[in-house]
Structure 1
Amino acid sequence: MDNIGKTFSAFGKNVQDSFKPWSTRTQQYVREQLGQAEDKTELPPDYLELEKRVDALKQVHQKMLQVTSQYTHEAYDYPSNIRESFNDLGRTVSEKVSLLSNSHSPSEAAAAMTAPPSARPQPKTFSHAIARAALNSSQTLAQQQQAAGGSAAGSVEDPLAQALEKYAIASEKVGEARLAQDAAIQARFLAGWSTTLNTNLQFAARARKNVENARLNLDAVKAKAKTHGAFSIPGQKREQFGDAEEHLSEEARAEIEAAEDEFVGQTEEAVGVMKNVLDTPEPLRNLAELIAAQLEYHKRAYEILSELAPAVDQLQVEQEASYRKSREGA
């Protein structure tokens, strides 16, 4: 029983010791908010400037992440007015084109377009949607030509149908490049900036809070010393302790010195933490990675479309030549 009593007694003392500084700081804070505190220890100008810079950096991270977080949503450029069916999203355009090339009848071609879905639904990006629409349009023209007694099933001879099929394949490749860009941005930019916002800047915020607590505690100790008559020179301001130390009791002097040491120590630590957050090259490195990912995507899209354009241009030239020849014959 004695041991249990000692344990509870120690626990109660720990709670009391933890509660006392919090209570003292809270009372000082309330007095300041009510305008009842005569003096308030000022923070160094350099420290206040660091706080402003850290606040600005936090705002930058919040603003950029608010926008760039869209890269985590696959369908950020997917038109809201599109209504695609389960079959539309069942297989990739490339898979459907491969199945179509092996079909030998209109029914087989139709089956290729409605083949059982693969492991997962196809991506909902704008480029993928264009690809699916272009392939469906190509098949509409091909099927109409076949129904009219034109070419054999699976052989697309209509120039527009051929161009649409080529465009469908290219658009799907562009869509895949966009998804690769998004994955790179998530890993190399969003992860880093989220860490800075949620970890590094939080460390700085915690260090600043410790400074504020130490400052409140120091001013509360000074106020207590004055209230209890630890020093009492008429008209003497409380911050002028250097001229009034002889009027302080040893206990009050020790308590004030300890609070001042704590305040100085917390301030120095916070300065170090804030400088580290401001000086780290990580955010700029992450931004460079974002730009690199965007550049790679646009470069890949340019290469895909540059390869497609001459093929479609050739189909267009051949169709115009055929059209003129038919008109001349008429």
Structure 2
Amino acid sequence: MSGYFSGFSFNKITDSISNAAHKTQDTLNQAIANVSDPHTKLSLKARTRYLQESFGTVGEISKLPPQYQSLERKVDALEKCLKRMLLVTRTFEVEGYDYPPNLTESISDWWSLNKDGWFSSSSKKSQKTKGDSSETFLPHSFAHAISKAAHDCNVVFKDLQEEEEGEEEDEDVINITEMFDSWSKCYKNIDLGKTEMDSIIVKEFNSKIDKLINQDFKRSHDLRKKVEISRLKFDTVRYEMKLKEQNVGLSKKTNDSSGPETELNANDAATAKENVEEAVTQDTSEKAARDQTGDAAPETQSTPNVEDSKLLEELEDEFVSNTTAAVEAMGEISECSEILSLAKLFQNFQLVYYRQCVQEIEASLKTLNELEAENS
């Protein structure tokens, strides 16, 4: 068994991921060099920065306001809970969810529909059974199954009364017939109430939860994505401007050096050189691309200019505007008033149904008590 994992190494996985990241970054750098549109170029640079942030190779990431971060956590938790509830309440959309198909009962019903009925009685009873059972072959709820079973039992004793017609009435047969009739009607009404409750929950509760998830929460995700994109663009331009400033400082320090007394410190120069090399790499790629296409090199400046400052200001305004819009949207959907209303709605539907169940069972029980009193 150990032979299968003898060549396994986490270092290999890490190296593979690192190589893939470098290849992706090189591809993006080549794409940036071949693009002339400034907006497209900035979008590609933002993607490169996102990749660098993911692997921790770049710092100075703009922090979002604490209120924004708190709302993000609140909205994500609320969305997760609503999805969890909807996963369960979608059960109301499934017919027969409280009474799965029963193979034994299905075979029995099929047999009674294709033979002379229960206990192979007369043809008259067979026609009645077929006529009554043709409504629904399989019960669509537990209440319906009880009602159907009680109804079939009621038919058996009704047929027994008809067979004994002309003879002295049997009080036990009459009472049992009425008992099953009361039982059947009770659960038939309960089944109708359940069907109505299921339909209302699907229309008034599930549909509104689904709308919240697929429209309102989706809109907040789109706004949060805009915030992330605008932040990446802002940080990208700000970082490039900082590198240009370091480049200017290094050049001045190098030009002002004269002799051993003003010699540039080796460590400072090395640090500044590393920062500059990253900014120069892209310029070199763009020059190589222009040489291949024969385009003339545009005039460039190695120092931050007015246009850079203006662009940075515009990106900052866009970042702030998108953040404000996202905060407003998340604040609206994270309010508990709508969720409370939906919860109350659900509970009211359940309460109406269970009250009906109590009323129907009490009425049936009253009939059974009367029959018991008459029989005693």
TM-score, reference length from structure 1: 0.75
Partner in structure 2 of residue 133 of structure 1: 149
Distance 2:347 2:181 in 1: 32
Asked whether 1:58 is paired with 2:79, we answer: yes
CA contact (8 A) 1:226 1:232 kept: no
Paired with 1:25 and 1:161, the residues of 2 have a C-alpha distance of 80
Question: Are 1:70 and 2:91 counterparts?
Answer: yes
Which shifted more, 116-125 or 54-63? 116-125
Matched with 1:183 is: 199
| Alignment gaps of 5+ in structure 2 | 1-33, 111-120, 250-267, 276-302
SS of equivalent residue, structure 2 residue 99: coil
Q: Does 1:281 align with 2:337?
A: yes
> Aligned residues, how many?
283
Gap runs ≥5 in structure 1: 1-12, 90-104, 239-246, 322-330
Query: Do residues 170 (structure 1) and 186 (structure 2) align?
Result: yes
List aligned pairs for 1:254-265, cutoff 5 A.
Answer: 254-265=310-321
Alignment of 1:3-22 (within 5 A): 19-22=40-43
1:208-287 map, 5 Å: 208-229=224-245, 248-279=304-335, 281-287=337-343
Matches within 5 A, 1:296-315: 296-315=352-371
Residues 1:196 and 1:26: Cα distance change in structure 2 (over 3 Å): same
Is 1:47 the counterpart of 2:68? The answer is yes
Gap change, CA 1:107 and 1:16, over 3 Å in 2: farther
The alignment-based identity, stated in percent, is 25
The CA distance in 2 between the partners of 1:150 and 1:212, in whole Å, is 89
Map Cα deviations across residues 122-142 of structure 1 (whole Å, 9 max, x no partner).
Answer: 760110011111111233344
RMSD: 3.5
**2: distance between equivalents of 1:151 and 1:198?**
69
Displacement of 1:162 after TM fit?
2.2
AA in 2 matched with 1:23: L
Q: 1:150 to 1:313 in 2, by over 3 A?
A: farther
What SS is found at the alignment partner of 1:42? coil
Deviation of the 1:106 alpha carbon: 5.1
Alignment of 1:183-202 (within 5 A): 183-202=199-218
Aligned equivalents of 1:120 and 1:185: distance in 2? 24
Task: Quote the offset at 1:22 in angstroms.
Answer: 3.3
1:150 to 1:119, Cα distance in 2 relative to 1, 3 A: closer
**How far does residue 37 in structure 1 lie from its aligned partner after superposition?**
0.7
Residues 170 and 304 of structure 1 are in contact (CA less than 8 Å); yes or no, is this contact kept in structure 2?
Answer: yes
1:259-307 CA distances to partner (integer Å, 9 max, x unpaired)? 2111111101101111111237332222211111111101111111111
Q: Is the 8 A contact 1:138 1:162 kept in 2?
A: yes
2:365 & 2:247 partners in 1: Cα distance? 89
What SS is found at the alignment partner of 1:157? helix
1:113 lines up with 2:113 in the alignment: no
Give the secondary-structure state (helix, strand or coil) at the position aligned to 1:260: helix
Q: Which amino acid aligns with 1:31?
A: Q
Question: CA distance change for structure 1 residues 174 and 15 in 2, over 3 Å: closer, same or farther?
Answer: farther
Contact 1:156 1:162 in 2 (8 A): no
1:141–1:302 distance in 2 versus 1, CA, 3 Å: same
Deviates more, 1:27-36 or 1:225-234: 225-234
Q: Which residue of structure 1 aligns with residue 117 of structure 2?
A: none
Q: CA deviation at 1:76?
A: 0.8
| In 1, Cα distance between equivalents of 2:134 and 2:351 | 31
Q: How far did 1:231 drift?
A: 7.0
Distance in 1 between the 2:79 and 2:167 partners? Answer: 64
| Structure-2 change in CA distance of 1:106 and 1:117 (3 Å) | closer
What TM-score comes out, normalization by structure 2 length?
0.66
Which sits farther off after the overlay, 141-150 or 130-139?
141-150
Residue range with higher mean Cα deviation, 137-146 or 80-89? 80-89
SS at 1:77 equivalent? coil
- Range with greater deviation from structure 2 (194-203 or 105-114): 105-114
Amino acid at match of 1:281: S
- Which segment drifts farther, 29-38 or 142-151? 142-151
Q: Which has the larger radius of gyration?
A: 2
CA distance in 2, matches of 1:152, 1:210: 87
Aligned equivalents of 1:232, 1:287: Cα separation in 2 = 63
Question: Contact (CA 8 Å) 2:197, 2:353: kept in 1 or not?
Answer: yes
